[in-house]
Structure 1
Amino acid sequence: MSGLPAHLRDAAWLVNGPVAQILDLLDRDGEEARVVGGAVRNALIGQPVHEIDIATTAQPDEVLRRAQNAGLRAVPTGIDHGTITLLSGDTPFEVTTLREDVETYGRKAKVAFGRDWRRDAERRDFTMNALSVSRDGVVHDYVGGLADLDARHVRFIGDATQRIAEDYLRILRFFRFHAAYGEGEPDPAALHACIAGREGLGALSRERVRTELMKLLVARGAAAAIQAMAESGLLVTILGGVPYLASFTRMIAIEAAAGAAPDAVRRLGALAVFVGEDADRLFERLRLSNAEFDRLRSMADGWRRVSAGLSAPDARALLYRLGPTAFSDRLLLAWSRSQDAADDSRWRTFLELPARWQVPSCPIGAADLMERGIPKGPALGAALREAEAAWIAADFPSDAAVIAAIADRATANRTS
């Protein structure tokens, strides 16, 4: 028996506010509605509830009719599969008619609408995701999800191989959910099925793989889950290159010791980026955003030149040139690949620099050099770059006389 409660009667979101309004709308007049999936799972174990999905016996056209009569905005976001998004204010709630898969082929499925809560639960991926709760707070469990959630055991519903064949993204989802909610070793049957189905990963869209991987990288058990994926031969398939497991594990430990928030891009860099070509490969393979690629490329380009022996002026110069995010990325990656402890005070001092030092703007501009006789054109640009470099090398002086002397030297070098 599970030690978790079989009710959520104290869940405020269930009895008050927009969720209660939608349940009241759909859970009457011969129809039934419940909250399903992740919201139930998280509420039972005391984790934050974010997206709240609702399932109902009402057919999609009946959901639309009731929503419109109640003055709720309804968007048929996936009406072919029975999903309608209802908006209460600016908050969206996905409402899906009970269904069962008649035929599946990869991500797509031919579904039939029904009224059987058990059949609807059995078509989901993991037992802990198949829980539902009615508006009286009673939790309904048809597949052993309560016991598995209590044991922190991530298990596929029914035959793991079949569940994966329905959607190969479930391989990544298995490891993500194990990292987020699991304890101990991964479920053996699930692990075997993931390994057996690994070739199916190649048919997935790069965007979907990226989304799951980034969520996995910041899960609380990411280190163990990534290690299991590497040992199973799955990680090389996903990344297209050799993973740096020690660097990844150390990055997690350093973030925790330094009080830095888990960051998916930074952890991806620790796991998979050693040189610039690695960033290029990941950009294409995972369809990363330009901003994510720029961060990885910056990490790859300069982490070797950063060490705990960096001087304070050099650290300030690096922060000035990179900005806070890229500075922290490069610093943490170098730290993760050093032999220094995760609580090393020298690295910690550098990491705190963006909070301690306000990056100044260069006080020497084009007008200052033009006043000294340099006309517009290539010479002016060269003089500006020389003046800025000299100001940085002098450790960002603010004294007017020192700044003027730097501008004078830059001018003299272009007019002599």
Structure 2
Amino acid sequence: MANVAVIGAQWGDEGKGKVVDWLASRADIVVRFQGGHNAGHTLVVGNQVYKLSLLPSGVVRGKLGVIGNGVVLDPEHLLSEIAKVTAQGLKVTPENLRIAENVPLILPLHPAIDKAREVARGASAIGTTGRGIGPAYEDKVARRAIRLSDLAEPEVLSHKLDELLLHHNTLLKGLGAPVFEKQVLLDRLLELAPLLLPFSEPVWQLLDEAHHTGKRVLFEGAQAVMLDVDHGTYPYVTSSNTVAGNAAAGSGVGPKQIGYVLGIAKAYTTRVGSGPFPTELKDDTGRLLGERGHEFGTVTGRPRRCGWFDACMVRQAVKVGGVEGLVLTKLDVLDGMKELRICTGYEVDGQVLNRLPASIAAQEKAKPVYEVLTGWSGSTRGARSYAELPAEAVKYVRRIEELVEAPVVLLSTSPDRDDTIMLRDPFAG
């Protein structure tokens, strides 16, 4: 049986939480391999709703959760999240949660810099969540990050804080923001050390052993391909690589161990924050999609921008993300709509393109080229087999498959994890 990697195929918020939860019941280990607590997963289990940002979704199903080295970890947020799910009846201990010893940490100065820079940008703000994700990744690349393993060595930690603050306090002063005192940071990190270090593990070794013993691993991505720092709508992107290829680098396994790549896409399109959005609807239809789909960010609470399904963009995500099969979510949101549209390309300066160009100016000019389909009057909500779907809904799904050049292998028809139509088993490879 193959491992599976799950990634978003749009701009995030596609419903990865439910899908990962559904797949986690059949996996042994669930690994987060990039991002931080700027991404939220909502899991509905019976009458209980779990909102996770850092914890791998598998912990809800009693599976071993792993936070890989490709993640940037906010210790305070992690402990807060553990406390919340503990209050909901879950048990999170080093028995079911392991954290890569080389994972970089988000410190209080990182969100401070994040927010100060957004304020300085004014109208040009890129729409960051202000959680410090970007500055933490910058420190990692600049080789000045504090990593989990550093908490076990106070002298090393003290020296690394000197270097860190030399850079960041200079920047904060320049932005007119308060600076940070080393001793306050050092004292707090040393307080956190005994709480965090029991979870520390050479995760690459753990996953190598899992590979040799035939365990199934589910790699859980955050954000989505079109927010990838290289392949997304730069600079309106996240600060990490969100494509499936990063599941290997972000967890410490070889690329062949990633297994089957599953892309998640909504039956329409949403985006949070700034950046180009060719199929965005600022009319009653857009508002209707937002209301029906309850489109508010899990982490930020910000309303999501809504628009028609963009097959051109998803096809691009399929290609660069290595997607082998697609999960289509929230099909039920389109119930009762007389007419549906799918974007098949973009018109830019009189030329029709079959890709979203890398140029910011071209992205802003891109006008969607639409194909119109007939909607359906029946309900798809809660359907658990293709036979329960209206004929026009099936046609809509089939047309999406043709346009994005990937088969729909799972179809989600409500937030409930069991309201899922499986057309192919991802773990079968």
TM-score (norm 2): 0.24
Structure possessing the higher radius of gyration over alpha carbons: 1
**When you count strand as a share of all residues, which structure comes out higher?**
2
**When you count helix as a share of all residues, which structure comes out higher?**
1
